Every structure is written in structure tokens, then in C-alpha cells.
């Protein structure tokens, strides 16, 4: 994958790494343990970093010091990280960890280690996975506000959270099936990582949680209760001498430098990774931390299409969707790129609705079993604020020149406007399903029953024919290499961003661009913001913002 860093026997080694100052220092110290601190301010390193770190020839192993694990991504990213650590162990690297706090995610992380210790007095909150569905209908009603939402698909239940106080039957059933699937993946991964455990034993621990540290050790979930100084002694015993410990940040600086220059190493086919994360927006998008803006993405894909040195492309997509026209525009660019070279999509934690749409034309789609995907459907709507404004003494009078000229007013859709909008929604939905069917080489009739806005786990999406392979980013890279017949390749990262200098983006980020981040802090669904900004427009959004605990 990385020309400048040997990640596996298939990957390319290059002189750049040999002259790295960071590597010279590591070699002078011997093969060290890399210290990875994990906590609220220090997320677990991304899976591809763990794979690179674990397979580095001059790294003895990984020493994780875990506080409360904050998932920078979601369940799929966590599972990919676990698989990277298991690959490290299989390659002979030592993986050890000490924990201050243990919840569901930390328990899975502990299972992936050669040794895992828990601090005295800690409790283990392995209570099982869950989520909370929130409904704002009654709250909005108190202020005289609501959202008027039209949707294609019985499971496209986005509007429920703004107009009801409880879930509909289809919505509840689909969400229950999704959470059950993710819980099963979590349980199976723990047992797979720590074979001494049984499914029944883990379920019994969940049923009796929270557990005392000593109880968790007795159940085989951890290897001992230890203070930090005792953990150091244990590690020394494991490796036979006092360990040399190097901070992860020091290693990562050298690795990142080598990765940046790997694109210039000739002699091997190039398979760059294009990172697409966030809501799908038209044009340049709103400068912010996580958006997929159509214009810069299309420009980046066009450059890759014209570059004869690039033999295949991997798209890493993590998006709940957004603008349907923008998704279609990116889909078209992906399709054109596929006409010149293979394109393999790797789905992240959530790649649903518009995130699925823009990926549908790829040569192959790879998705982790614990990813959230599907939601093939469209919605349209707007906030209805006329009554709320009148309650505050703001009165309005409409002067219209056409029967549907009030489409963007703060009132509910008129019957005529609603009927016209339904025609457009139905057409967009059919196009969406046709794109998916064509990409997966199936008929409309085969795909449509599994569309209708339903959200699937990656495993179930594979079972119903929406995907090509199960796996993480590493599998997607291997598939891209296989499609061009390459055993070794070079790679680098591409993240399409809106135009404008840093100062301009920072200045704008304190205005409109700050809205998504503030909304996340306040737990207000970002979909509400998109509806307000795009009234009446077809949106390919997943129905609920689910946080899996």
C-alpha cells in the first residue's frame, strides 16, 4: 500500500524510509514498544495507522494505555481497529493494554490484546449495545413549529423524529434489527479475539454488569488487576527485559512524512485513497470539518481519471447522505472514472442514502459487517414556522404570482405543490434504485424490495445483494490491487476540500460552517439543518442519527 513503508509482503519498500531520522532513532534504541494513549482527548488511532504501526519491522509491539475510549468513528472503525491489532499479534507483535475504565468498546479492545489489565477499584460497564431514538414532535408543537416532510419508502422515516412522539412499527423494527446485528458483531468479535471465552459466558457477564474488576478477571475478560507500576513489571516479564517505550506521536511523524512522499516513488502502480466524509452538499459546500462538496470531489476524480500513472482508485466513504443532485453528480464522476480504471469503494461507519448513491457506480463496494448502510430512498421537506412566528408577534402575508409560489414559505406544502413534489421525489427514487441495480449488475426488481429507505448492517446488506465484499479498508485496497493484477503498489491520501485559503475557511467556520458542529454538541439532528437550508429539494438522507453505545 505505502511505497515508503513496508506494510506487508505485498507492499513496496523504498529508500525514503531508510533515510528517515525517526527510523534511525528507533533502530538506535532497538525495537521498542510504541506507547498509545487513548482517552477523551486522544482517540484510538485509525485502523490503517494501527496496521502500519503493527507491521513495521522495527516495532516490537504496542502498549495501549486506555482511559475512556472515545470512538472517533463508530462501530465499523472500532472493529477494523480490532482486526488490525489481531493482525499485529498474528505477525508476532506484542499487544498489551491497561484500562482505567471499561465499557462495551473497551471490553472488545481488551479482548484483542495479548494481555489486558484493569486498575484496582474499576468497574466494568459491559452492559451490551444500545441506542436511543429521540422524537421532537411534542417539543416543536409547544412552540407552534413542525416539519412538513414527504418521503419515498416505508422505512424512510426521517420525518418521524420531528412529527411524532414515538416510532412507527417499520421504523422500530428496522432499528431493532440493526442494533441486534451490531450487538451480534460485537459479541462474536469478543469471542473470536479471546477463544477462552464463550458466547454464553460473555452474555452472562452482560446480564450481570456492571462488574467488579476481580469478577471480570475471574470470568476471563481481563488478565489481572494491576496498578501502573505492576503493569510495567508484567510487560518486562513478557519481553524478557525492560522495555524501550517510544510515544506513538514520534513514530507517526516519521510514518506520515514517508507516506506523503510515497506518491513520487516510481516503478509500482499507484492506488491512491480518496477520503470522503460528511454530508453531501452542492457546489463548493460550506467550509467546515466534515462535508463532501460536489465540486472539489468531481475535480479530484477528474484529475485521477486523466492521470495515466494511477491504475486504480479506492474511495473511503463515510456519509449519512445529503443533497440528491450532488450525490448524482459525484456518482457520474465515479462512473466516468470506472471507464478508465477500477474504482473500489470502502464504506466507513455510516455510508447510507446519498453516501450509497454516490458510490453505486463503483467497480466494487466493500463494506464492514458492522457498518451502517442502505437507506436507499429520498425525502423532501421544510420547517413550518408560521404559527410559531405569529405566537411571537410576527405576522406574515403572502403575495404570490403562481399556484406553487409559496413552496419556500414557512407554511405547509399546498396540495398542488405537494403533488408536484411527489412526482419529482418518485423520479429521483427510481433513478437512485436504478443506479444501485446497474452498479451491482442486478435488475430493478431485485434491488427495489431492499431499498425503500431501509437501513441495513453491512452483513445484511451483503446478504440482500447491495454489496460485493465484506471487509474494511485493507480489503478494499487488496481488491483494487487484484483488479489490476498487482502484488505491490504505492498509495497516498487525497481529501478533496473546498477552495479558499486557510484564513478564509477559518473565518467562515465561525459563521454558517459552525452550525453543524454546534448542532452535534446540542444533539440536534443535522438533517434538520439540511431541510431548512434546502426546502423542497430532494435529499438522500438516512432516516435517523443513531449513536450506538
Enclosing H/E stretch for 457: strand 455-457
Any idea which residue has 412566528 for its cell? 389
Please report, in tens digits, the pLDDT of each residue of the chain (549 residues total).
Answer: 333 333 333 333 332 233 344 444 444 445 788 899 998 788 888 898 898 876 677 788 999 999 887 766 689 999 999 999 999 999 889 999 999 999 999 999 999 999 999 999 999 999 999 988 888 888 888 999 998 888 887 887 777 888 888 888 888 999 999 999 999 999 999 999 999 999 999 999 999 999 999 999 999 999 999 999 999 999 999 988 888 898 988 888 877 777 777 666 667 899 999 999 999 999 987 665 578 999 999 999 999 999 999 999 999 999 999 999 999 999 999 999 999 999 999 999 999 999 999 999 999 999 999 999 999 999 888 899 999 999 999 999 989 898 888 888 889 999 999 999 899 999 999 999 999 999 999 999 999 999 999 999 999 999 999 999 999 999 999 999 999 999 989 898 999 987 654 444 444 444 333 444 444 444 456 667 777 777 777 777 766 666 777
pTM, two decimals, is 0.87
- pLDDT at residue 263 in the model: 66
First to last CA, the chain: 33
CA 351, CA 458: separation in Å to the nearest integer?
10
Closest Cα partner for 13 from 219, 240, 197, 267?
267
Same-fold call for 15-127+209-255 versus 266-541: yes
Sequence ranges of the domains in the chain: 15-127+209-255, 266-541
Write the CB contacts of 66 (distance below 8 Å, at least 6 apart in sequence).
38, 39, 97, 98, 99, 100, 101, 106, 109
What is the CATH T-level fold of the domain 266-541, as seen in this structure?
Answer: 2-enoyl-CoA Hydratase; Chain A, domain 1 (3.90.226)
Task: Identify the sign of the CA torsion 81, 87, 88, 94.
Answer: positive
**Left, alpha or beta for 321 (phi > 0: left; psi -120 to 50: alpha)?**
left
Superfamily of domain 15-127+209-255: 2-enoyl-CoA Hydratase; Chain A, domain 1 (3.90.226.10)
Is the CB of residue 369 less than 8 Å from the CB of residue 123?
no
DSSP state of 231: H
Q: Supply the pLDDT for residue 331.
A: 98
Amino acid at each position: 500500500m505505502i511505497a515508503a513503508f513496508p506494510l506487508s509482503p505485498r507492499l513496496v519498500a523504498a529508500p525514503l524510509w531508510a533515510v528517515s531520522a525517526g527510523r534511525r532513532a528507533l533502530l538506535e534504541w532497538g525495537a521498542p514498544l510504541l506507547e498509545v494513549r487513548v482517552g477523551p482527548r486522544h482517540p484510538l488511532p485509525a485502523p490503517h495507522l494501527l496496521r502500519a504501526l503493527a507491521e513495521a519491522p522495527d516495532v516490537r509491539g504496542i502498549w495501549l494505555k486506555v482511559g475512556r475510549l472515545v470512538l472517533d468513528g463508530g462501530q465499523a472503525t472500532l472493529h477494523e481497529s480490532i482486526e488490525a491489532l489481531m493482525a499485529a499479534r498474528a505477525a508476532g507483535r506484542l499487544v498489551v493494554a491497561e484500562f482505567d475504565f471499561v465499557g462495551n468498546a473497551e471490553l472488545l479492545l481488551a479482548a484483542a490484546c495479548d494481555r489486558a489489565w484493569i486498575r484496582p477499584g474499576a468497574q466494568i460497564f459491559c452492559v451490551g449495545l444500545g441506542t436511543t431514538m429521540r422524537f421532537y414532535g411534542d417539543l416543536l408543537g409547544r412552540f407552534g413549529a413542525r416539519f412538513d416532510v414527504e418521503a419515498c419508502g416505508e422505512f424512510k422515516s426521517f420525518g418521524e423524529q420531528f412529527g411524532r412522539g414515538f416510532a412507527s412499527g417499520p421504523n422500530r423494527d428496522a432499528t431493532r434489527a440493526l442494533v441486534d446485528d451490531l450487538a451480534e458483531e460485537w459479541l462474536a468479535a469478543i469471542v473470536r479475539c479471546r477463544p477462552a471465552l464463550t458466547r454464553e459466558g460473555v452474555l452472562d457477564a452482560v446480564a450481570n454488569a456492571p462488574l467488579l474488576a476481580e469478577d471480570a478477571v475471574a470470568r476471563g475478560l481481563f488478565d489481572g488487576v494491576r496498578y501502573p507500576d505492576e503493569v510495567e513489571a508484567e510487560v518486562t516479564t513478557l519481553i524478557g527485559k525492560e522495555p524501550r517505550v517510544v510515544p506513538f506521536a514520534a513514530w507517526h511523524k516519521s510514518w506520515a512524512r514517508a507516506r506523503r512522499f510515497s506518491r513520487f516513488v516510481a516503478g509500482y502502480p499507484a492506488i491512491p485513497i480518496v477520503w470522503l466524509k460528511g454530508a453531501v452538499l452542492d457546489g463548493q459546500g460550506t467550509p467546515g470539518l466534515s462535508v463532501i462538496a460536489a465540486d472539489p470531489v468531481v475535480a479530484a476524480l477528474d484529475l485521477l481519471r486523466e492521470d495515466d500513472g494511477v491504475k486504480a482508485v479506492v474511495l473511503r466513504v463515510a456519509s449519512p447522505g445529503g443533497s440528491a443532485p450532488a450525490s448524482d453528480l459525484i456518482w457520474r464522476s465515479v462512473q466516468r472514472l470506472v471507464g478508465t480504471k477500477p474504482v473500489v469503494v470502502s464504506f466507513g461507519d455510516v455510508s447510507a442514502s446519498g453516501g450509497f448513491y454516490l458510490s453505486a457506480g463503483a467497480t466494487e463496494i466493500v463494506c464492514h459487517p458492522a457498518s451502517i448502510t442502505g437507506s436507499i430512498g429520498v425525502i423532501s421537506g421544510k420547517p413550518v414556522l408560521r404559527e410559531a412566528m405569529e405566537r411571537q408577534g410576527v405576522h406574515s402575508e403572502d403575495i404570490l404570482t403562481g399556484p406553487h409560489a409559496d413552496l419556500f414559505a414557512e407554511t405547509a406544502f399546498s396540495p398542488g405543490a405537494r403533488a408536484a413534489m411527489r412526482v419529482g421525489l418518485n423520479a429521483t427514487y427510481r433513478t437512485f434504485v436504478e443506479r444501485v441495480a446497474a452498479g451491482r449488475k442486478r435488475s430493478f426488481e431485485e434491488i427495489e424490495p431492499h431499498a425503500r429507505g431501509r437501513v441495513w448492517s453491512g452483513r445484511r446488506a451483503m446478504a440482500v445483494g447491495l454489496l460485493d465484499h465484506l471487509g474494511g479498508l485493507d480489503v478494499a485496497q487488496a481488491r483494487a490491487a487484484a483488479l489490476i493484477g498487482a502484488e505491490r503498489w504505492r498509495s497516498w491520501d487525497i481529501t478533496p476540500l473546498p477552495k479558499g485559503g486557510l484564513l478564509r475557511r477559518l473565518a467562515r467556520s465561525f459563521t454558517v460552517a459552525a452550525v453543524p458542529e454546534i448542532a452535534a454538541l446540542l444533539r440536534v439532528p443535522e438533517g434538520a439543518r439540511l431541510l431548512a437550508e434546502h426546502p423542497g429539494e430532494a435529499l438522500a438522507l438516512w432516516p435517523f442519527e443513531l449513536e450506538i453505545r
